[in-house]
A and B are shown apart, each in its own frame.
Chain A
Amino acid sequence: MQKNMGAAAEPSSTPNWATVLFVGRDPRRTLTRIVFLIAGSLILFKLLLLPIRVEGISMLPTYREKRVNFVNRLAYVLHPPRRGDVVAIRLAGRHVMFMKRIIGLPGETIEFRRGKVFINGRLLEEPYLAWPCNWDRSPERIGPGEYYVVGDNRTMDWNDHVKGLADRDRIVGKVLL
Chain B
Amino acid sequence: MRRCAFAISLTIVALVAGWVGWSVFFPGPERVIRRSLEEIQILATFSASEAPLAKLANSRKLAAYFAPEVQIAVDVPGRPVQVIQGAEDLLQALMAARAQILSLKVRFLDINISVADGRQAAVANLTVRGSIAGEADELVQELNFWFQKSGRDWLIRRVETVKTLR
Are A and B associated in one complex?
A: yes
Known: A91-B127, A98-B164. 12 other contacts (CB 8 A): A55-B138, A89-B165, A91-B110, A92-B112, A92-B143, A93-B112, A95-B109, A96-B140, A157-B78, A161-B77, A163-B165, A166-B164
* Distance in angstroms between the alpha carbons of A91 and B164 in the assembled complex: 6
* A residues whose Cβ falls under 8 Å from a Cβ of B: 55-56, 89, 91-96, 98, 100, 149, 157, 159-166, 170
Supply 18 A–B pairs (Cβ within 8 Å), ascending by A.
Answer: A56-B137, A89-B165, A91-B127, A91-B162, A91-B164, A92-B112, A92-B125, A92-B162, A96-B110, A98-B165, A159-B77, A159-B78, A160-B78, A161-B77, A162-B77, A162-B165, A164-B163, A165-B165
* B residues whose Cβ falls under 8 Å from a Cβ of A: 77-78, 109-112, 125-127, 129, 137-138, 140-143, 162-166
**Closest approach, in angstroms, between the C-beta of B105 and any C-beta of chain A?**
14
Residue among B127, B137, B141 with max Cβ neighbours from chain A (10 Å): B127
The 3 closest A-B pairs by CB, nearest first: A93-B110, A164-B165, A92-B110
Are the C-beta atoms of A96 and B165 separated by less than 8 Å?
A: no
* Distance in angstroms between the alpha carbons of A170 and B110 in the assembled complex: 14
**Closest approach, in angstroms, between the C-beta of B71 and any C-beta of chain A?**
20
With known contacts A56-B137, A159-B78, A170–B164 Cβ distance under 8 A: yes
Which secondary structure dominates where chain A touches chain B? loop
Are the C-beta atoms of A92 and B77 separated by less than 8 Å?
A: no
With known contacts A162-B77, A162-B165, A163-B165, A93–B137 Cβ distance under 8 A: no
